[in-house]
Structure 1
Amino acid sequence: MSTEALFQTHLVLGYVVWLLCFGAYGLPWLGSMDRIAAQRAIATLHSFRFFGLVFILPGVVGPDLPASFATFAAYGDFATGMLAMLALLTVKVRQLFWAFVVAFNIVGMVDLIVDYYQAIQADLPAHAGLLGAAYAMPILYVPLLMITHITAFYFLLRPHRSASRAITENARAS
């Protein structure tokens, strides 16, 4: 199987597995929480996106990894992680918290979409070996990040409901 086919298979299966796992465990768990707690849980996950700087770390990724992909991916992840941390730090100042929640989700989702575009433009799937030790990030971590961004936007846009009401509704459904 070609490098491109392996990478694409890994990526698709990464989404499949995370959607199955998230649908069974993550979404019901987040849905049982109040809005702030759910967004804090999502922000906590995205706070680890500082790790994306690995895309510009020599010795971890290959020296020929296209800079058009690596630099934007690294700093887009870093910015998203910092905004998520700021959301967590400002949870007691609700207006700032919600502003940072919206900001890290917009920046993070744009980062992932642009990363996909730039990876395609650079034909990264055919040269996935250039990712070196960072290979696992786009196939294991990125699908979960995209799914949680979509979930965060869903929670931001859906009508407000209390946690006790959500628990009661979940109990009735089971």
Structure 2
Amino acid sequence: MPAQILFLTHLGLAYVPWLLCFGVYIWPRLKTMDHVDAQRAIATLHSFRFFGLAFLLPGVVGPNLPAGFATFAAYGNFATGLLAMLALLAVRIRSLFWLFVVAFNLVGVADVAFDFYHAVQVDLPAVAGELGAMYAFPIIYVPLQMITHVAAFYLLARSRPNAASSLTGDTVAF
């Protein structure tokens, strides 16, 4: 089987076990959690995205990994991770916490979307071997990133009436 087909098969199939795991073990718990605690759990996962900087490390990735892909993937992940860490640090200042939650999710989704776009532009599946040790990152970690971003946005939308009530002066515990 050609390397391109293997890479795309890995990438596509990676969503299946994560969706199954998320649906059975993670989502039921997130839905019942306090809104802040649920977003903190998601932010904690994304705070490890600084690991994406490894796309820039020689020896971790091959020398022929397209720079157009590697640079954007590295810094997009880094920015998302920093914003997630800031959300975790700002949890006691609710308005700031929610700002960082929205920010890390928007930046994170944009990062994954643009990484897919850049991967297509540089034909990443044809040079997937150049990902080196980072091969596991898009195959194992990226599907979970996207799934949790979608969940975070769903939870944000679901908690919207409560947020509006708290802005009008009603006391609503997040």
TM-score by length of 1: 0.91
**Which residue does 1:131 correspond to in 2?**
131
Tell me, in whole angstroms, the C-alpha distance in 2 between the residues paired with 1:5 and 1:134. 18
List gaps (5 residues or longer) in structure 2: 163-174
1:1-174 matches, within 5 Å, as 1-159=1-159
Describe the shift of the 1:159–1:88 C-alpha distance in structure 2 as closer, same or farther (beyond 3 A).
closer
Q: Quick check: 1:35–1:160 contact (8 Å CA) kept in 2?
A: no
Runs of 4+ off more than 6 Å: none
Q: Residue 17 of structure 2 aligns to which amino acid in structure 1?
A: V
- How far is the alpha carbon of 1:160 from its aligned partner? 6.0
List gaps (5 residues or longer) in structure 1: 163-174
Q: Percent identity?
A: 68
Q: Which structure would you say has the larger RCO, counting Cα contacts within 8 Å and 6 or more residues apart? A: 1
How many residues are matched?
A: 162
Tell me, in whole angstroms, the C-alpha distance in 2 between the residues paired with 1:129 and 1:32. 42
TM-score by length of 2: 0.91
- How far is the alpha carbon of 1:161 from its aligned partner? 9.1
Q: Quick check: 1:34–1:161 contact (8 Å CA) kept in 2?
A: no
What's the C-alpha RMSD, in Å, of the aligned pairs?
1.2
